[in-house]
Amino acid sequence: MMKNIPSLIPACFLFILLATGPAAGSIHTPEPGIVTVAAVNGQDYHCGDTIPFSGINNGSHVTYLFITGPNLPENGSRIQDPDPANRPVIDGDASAFQAVGVADDKRWTWTWDTRRSALGPGTYTIYAVSSPHDRNHLEYSPYGTTSIIMTKPGSRSSARPADSSDASFSLSAFSADPAGDLAAAMPVMVSFTIDFPATGDETFPSTHDLRIATDLENPRWNSTLVLEGVRTLQPENNGRTMFITGWLLSYPSSVPESLDITLTGTIPHGSSGTNQELLNISENDEQGYTVGSPSVRAVHVSPTAGKTSPAAASVNGSAGTPGHGAGIFGSRDSGKPWSIVISRMNSVFRPASSARV
């Protein structure tokens, strides 16, 4: 018997490999389908409003909703819970999401009664996903997003004033690489310049804010402030949204000013067949409302790269368009050698010695 023992070792070793190897079904593949979401009555609401959402989901029979925003868990909160700030969604747990059934025509609807919610004023993003995944696990599931702005009841009408002025910036020298077909998960580099043509005594209103956002995943922003031809490299920023206070951009109108920015990231996973914003720039007033029209560069993500060309276009949005505008502001500190504004771990610096209005 002892002579036969060595011959059993390979068989035992193979059995151990099979027993400890990957379980069947653990290898994930991207799910098919398209999921969309929109706030039916526009973007602006008061805390306590009833907000209806609707969309399309041809990838599953259930749409799973969650929310992100100020003071909420980064990977998403339970929108249906009275206290979303302390109730994060749990990836893979369907009971942690607001589940909405999909009708036979692939449409879904759900109404959010914010009177039951402890959320305060701010800009929030609602995610609609074909499977119960949080923000950090969306690479395999189709999903859509929309943003809303919530203000205090009675603070100001949620409708935009009809006589809103033009924005204090302009977008130029925009380019995207690659410029051909774009597919989900494809790396992209976007370059552009924001010009600040003086419209009064200053280059940009000191009480306003500049919001720069993208739908790209893993974005990295590299910015250079150009004043009277002198270029000053700014610290790198991460995150899908970058906020810059007007105090940091406000100079005497006689000072030529621009901002050169390069953005790198990837087209969102699971976004085939949808429109994605490479860039969305807006100016926001003291109340968080959008001034003028945002500058948007959008692209259609091809279901199969190489078959159809992306329809890249400049789109003039409005404050009533889901996904535009913002109501979150940074702080300012002029008592330090460098002034810094931080919003969601994004920072923009400005030398204290620079001329200010």
- The answer to the question of residue 6 being in a domain is no
Q: Tell me, what's the pLDDT at 44? A: 84
Q: How far apart are CA 297 and CA 312, in angstroms?
A: 7
Same domain, 144 and 250: no
In this prediction, residue 23 carries a pLDDT of 39
Query: Are 316 and 279 within one domain?
Result: yes
Instruction: Provide the residue range defining the domain that includes 105.
Output: 38-151
d(CA 87, CA 68): 11
The predicted model gives 41-64 an average pLDDT of 90
Number of compact structural domains in the chain: 2
Q: Give the pLDDT confidence score for residue 103 in this predicted structure.
A: 94
Copy the structure tokens of residue 48. Answer: 């306590």
Spatial contact of 89 and 142, defined as CB atoms under 8 Å apart: no
pLDDT of residue 165: 55
What tens digit of pLDDT does each residue of 93-146 get? 999 999 999 999 999 999 999 988 998 888 899 999 999 999 999 988 899 999
Is the pLDDT at 303 greater than 90? The verdict is no
Question: Rounded mean pLDDT of the chain?
Answer: 76
Task: Give pLDDT tens digits for 257-275.
Answer: 999 999 999 999 888 878 8
Distance CA 47, CA 87 (A): 19
| Per-residue confidence (pLDDT) for residue 229, from 0 to 100 | 92
Region at 304 (left for phi over 0; alpha for psi -120 to 50; beta for the rest): beta
> Do 326 and 185 have their domain in common?
yes
202 and 338 together in one domain = yes
Same domain? For 134 and 202 the reply is no
Is residue 165 one of the residues assigned to a domain? Answer: no
Residue 162 has pLDDT above 80, yes or no: no
Which pairing describes strands 230-233 and 217-227: parallel, antiparallel, or unpaired?
antiparallel
pLDDT digits 0-9 by tens, 174-209: 999 998 778 889 999 999 999 998 777 899 998 888
CA distance 54 to 128: 10
What CATH number does the domain containing 343 carry?
Answer: 2.60.40
Closest CA to 294 of 284, 305, 308, 286: 284
Q: Are 97 and 60 in contact (CB under 8 A)?
A: no
Same-domain status, 191 and 265: yes
pLDDT average, residue stretch 236-264:
89
Residues 55 and 197 in one domain: no
| 5-10 average pLDDT score | 48
Round to whole Å and give the CA distance between 280 and 170: 12
Domain check: are 188 and 289 in the same one? Answer: yes
User: How far is the C-alpha of 186 from the C-alpha of 182, rounded, in Å?
Assistant: 7
Residue 326 has pLDDT above 70, yes or no: no
Kindly write down the DSSP assignment for every residue of 191-250, as one continuous string.
EEEEE----SSBSS-TT-EEEEE---EEEEEEEEEEETTEEEEPPPEESSEEEEEHHHH-
CA distances from 4 to 16, 247, 283 (A): 19, 83, 80
Residue 332, class by beta-carbon neighbours within 10 Å (0-12 exposed, 13-18 middle, 19+ buried)?
A: middle
Whether residue 96 sits in one domain with residue 182: no
Give the model's pLDDT for residue 32: 80
pLDDT at 337: 27
Whether residues 132 and 175 fall in one domain: no
Domain membership flag for residue 191: yes
Q: Please identify, among 151, 181, 201, the residue that sits at the C-terminal boundary of a domain.
A: 151
Whether 176 and 303 share a structural domain = yes
Cα–Cα nearest to 207, from 164, 242, 170, 250: 250
189 burial via Cβ count (<10 Å: 0-12, 13-18, 19+): middle
* CB 43, CB 147: distance < 8 Å: yes
Q: How far apart are the first and last CA of the chain?
A: 94
Q: Is the pTM of this model over 0.75?
A: no
- Domain assignment present for residue 334? The answer is yes
pLDDT at 294: 80
Q: What is the DSSP letter of 71?
A: T
Tell me, yes or no, whether 259 and 330 share the same domain.
Answer: yes
CATH of the domain at 55: 2.20.130
In a domain, 112, yes or no: yes
Instruction: Decide if 312 is inside a domain.
Output: yes
- Judged by DSSP in three states, 348 sits in strand
Structural domain contains residue 29: no
338 within a domain of the structure (yes/no) = yes
Is residue 150 over pLDDT 90?
A: no
Peptide bond into 252 cis (omega under 30): no
